Structure 1
């Protein structure tokens, strides 16, 4: 690998990429199913309160859920239709969350949006548009974008980084968005720079997406940036290159301290999909109720990069793509490193779903785990410099609550430790349990 490619210093792994399944498949718009189940908790924070009731008619893009207190983001109707239920939905981790079910009006046309001039708007007006559109971090935990873009008073932010690394195996949504919508990504970056009141932006893209790097550079050169500087930085192919703290180190050399946040080192990070959603919200006045997800794995009849409406059930996606194959062994929401295995197809797509993987037995490792052999591979692989082996041993000994000194709360559960472990130990599950016990 060329030394000119940027990367972080500590740890990291190289899992099989498996992106060849979908990386050359253009974004495909999925036909609308007849019913949508829209969760009112699609973000970090408190659930929205429903603003509608059963039998109400809603139009595509209408506000149907709003957070009345605490952190959160608005939720909008994905289609025009009638509210048939206000109940609960199954989430990716099998937690029931409040939801609104809409029966689509089969005769209603799709809503159209016309571009408008955004350059005369103030930073505060731009931020209000982003908040009203319900935009959250599409590539992560769903942190409300309007909150991230308003760091605490006295914070000095001088750099914006867009995360185009997409280092998770199988997933190719950001890659396709960068290839097919580069102008929107660049304009979205300009809007974010205006909101933050800064002029320096970076887009970090792993080198295995060289076509996206070329397209973005051409788009950035073609745009009139009005004093802003947006550079496209090629990153070394190494997982977890797309993690916030690792990406910041790769691009700027700055290290976010333990327990700290990106703005502590003068940086704000946003995902590529989030940036495209910012463009939609500000230029088109379109709320976030539609997104691109990767459907991949060798257990689905037809892989695809699909543009789907929020609230579309996985079952409807599977039916549209021709069903699953007989050797399907596991379904994962998200990527194989940080996603969650699910046991039902009745889960709706949310703003934070990046993909759904249908994996065969050959694509998963179901060997039983053994005892720690003290090889130290997990310590070498950990990008945060933690000791996953010690945390696992403490959990097994019934002392999960005593793991805070090992930095358990600095772990972002990337799975690098479990990937390299020769004993196949479920270290991420141990760490999640340790966090729960230590918090209590």
Structure 2
């Protein structure tokens, strides 16, 4: 049964309203006019083996190995994982654990490389001619290149492309909205490398077998919109650039699809189930380099901004470059920042150390001063309903928060906690300054642990039952073998007795023989 009407797709000039959303101060002016600059080679590179959704990659190198630029150093493991490559040539000085670019700061498996300064490429992947390549070949190349969703989701891109085998896809949506405040890296990519992005989009469209392409860009990026419109002809006759409202969280895949197609994604469903696949503009650029030139994902463009940065900029840095090196390239800090974030101010991850590396999903480094964060004391909820009004998922944040505070996790789940996308709109709009989204993230973490424990218990029971069944089968097999052996031995004895009797009957009696 179809979940939507294709008639909605005919309204190509319309923008459909999405639920909720907010208009935070964008502060994009800090870096929007800064052209992308290339970072110099750092003195040390730390490449985590977990930079993606799914299983951690398996290290393929050891200490003292020499590696070349683009060499595979971490092999994807399992159905959902991603390869990891050496960002430059040098010597591996450690394969161990280092602090993760995450609020926890917990150590993760990391390969540390000391660059040799030569930046020497190893053998690149064979180039493909996408016009003649099979979709499976393109997906395979994207997988080999270790490309993930670079808008922040870091879901392995090849897994997404292979959804064409499960769903009847008809539209490719390219996410160029970049709705997070401060961030301008996608804007600069669209302005400066529109031709390469258009080629990447064309490759993605061929890989999923669709002709209809919508490139969605927020209205506050007029130069990016114009740059992409000049190159839509290279993508195909059914490709178009759509200007979407400047509204947060327009960059959410579900809400972007609703805005440009009118199709509403059901709760906990994928956009692919509606026939629509969404990819970020930076992902399209990475696909272009992988397919056309055989280059894996070893660098990315990111924004360095905030009033705590002396010279806000957009830089292209190698994966694994320490945050401290990138800030130094931008003039350093103006003082002690109130918050240091990887990503945007709404959904970015706070970090405690400048030594942590940037990874594939790092879209920005923000150093925010107290004048920008404006910390306020938390007050009791006044039941104004402001959080309900702005929630893009149609949830009731205040009620979920009350359930979580009462330790009623199941009640929060019943109210839709798993549908929360952690956009932070509710916290931003709360006049009492209640940190709603932090509470939801905490509860979602507890829920994940609870589900993991339940899964482990069920798996333990399954394994125990399987072992019992296996041992019973072995015992039954032994009993059957023993019974068979006993039967064979009894039959053998019977045959021997019968043979002896027959031999005795045939042998002449000695007395009779004497007579």
Is TM more than 0.5 here? yes
Q: How does 1:409-424 map to 2 (within 5 A)?
A: 409-424=418-433
Between structure 1 and structure 2, the one with the greater Rg is 2
Structure with the bigger percentage of strand: 1
- 2:118, 2:162 → 1: CA distance? 41
Select which of 190, 193, 216 maps to 2:202: 190
Q: Distance in 1 between matches of 2:397 and 2:212?
A: 37
Q: Pick the aligned partner of 1:135 from 140, 147, 170.
A: 147
Distance 2:80 2:120 in 1: 34
Pairing partner for 2:135 from 123, 128, 139: 123
Deviation at 1:395, TM superposition (A): 1.5
Kindly provide the CA deviation profile for residues 247-279 of structure 1, in whole angstroms up to 9, marking residues without a partner as x: 000010000001101111110000010110010
Aligned positions of 1:34-433 closer than 5 A? 34-91=43-100, 92-93=102-103, 94-109=105-120, 117-151=129-163, 153-221=165-233, 223=234, 225=235, 228-326=237-335, 328-433=337-442
Aligned residues: 434
RMSD: 1.7
**Contact 2:56 / 2:77 at 8 angstroms: preserved in 1?**
no
Deviation at 1:438, TM superposition (A): 3.2
Aligned residues of 2:164 and 2:209 also touching (Cα < 8 A)? no
Distance 1:7 1:413 in 2: 23
Relative contact order: is structure 1 or structure 2 higher (C-alpha 8 Å, sep ≥ 6)?
1
1:95 Cα deviation after fit: 3.2
- Does the 8 Å CA contact 2:28/2:181 hold for their aligned counterparts? yes
Conserved? CA contact 2:69–2:120, under 8 Å:
no
CA distance in 1, matches of 2:33, 2:286: 22
- Superposed displacement of residue 140, structure 1: 2.1
Residue 52 and residue 241 in structure 1: after superposition, are their counterparts in 2 closer, same or farther (change >3 A)?
same
Q: How far apart are 1:38 and its partner, in Å?
A: 0.3
Structure 2 distance, partners of 1:32, 1:230, is: 38
Question: Is contact 2:190–2:228 with CA below 8 Å preserved after alignment?
Answer: yes
Do 2:87 and 2:298's aligned partners in 1 also have CA atoms closer than 8 Å?
yes
TM value normalised by structure 2: 0.82
TM-score by length of 1: 0.95
- SS of structure 1 residue aligned to 2:231: helix
**399-408 vs 373-382, which deviates more?**
399-408
Deviation at 1:212, TM superposition (A): 0.7
Unaligned runs of 5+ in 2: 1-12, 451-515
Change (3 A) 1:38 1:45: same
The Cα shift of 1:411 comes to: 0.7
Contact 2:136 / 2:207 at 8 angstroms: preserved in 1?
A: yes
In the TM superposition, what is the alpha-carbon distance from 1:160 to its structure 2 partner? 0.3
* Structure 2 counterpart SS, 1:248: helix
In 1, Cα distance between the equivalents of 2:350 and 2:128? Answer: 42
List alignment gaps of at least 5 residues for structure 1. none
User: What is the distance in 2 between the residues matched to 1:89 and 1:274?
Assistant: 27
What SS is found at the alignment partner of 1:131? helix
Deviation at 1:108, TM superposition (A): 4.3
SS at structure 2 position matched to 1:291? strand
Give the conservation status (yes or no) of the 8 Å contact 2:152–2:361.
Answer: yes
CA positional deviation for 1:414: 0.4
Distance 2:331 2:417 in 1: 43
- C-alpha separation between the residues in 2 aligned to 1:111 and 1:201? 35
3-state DSSP of counterpart to 1:150: helix
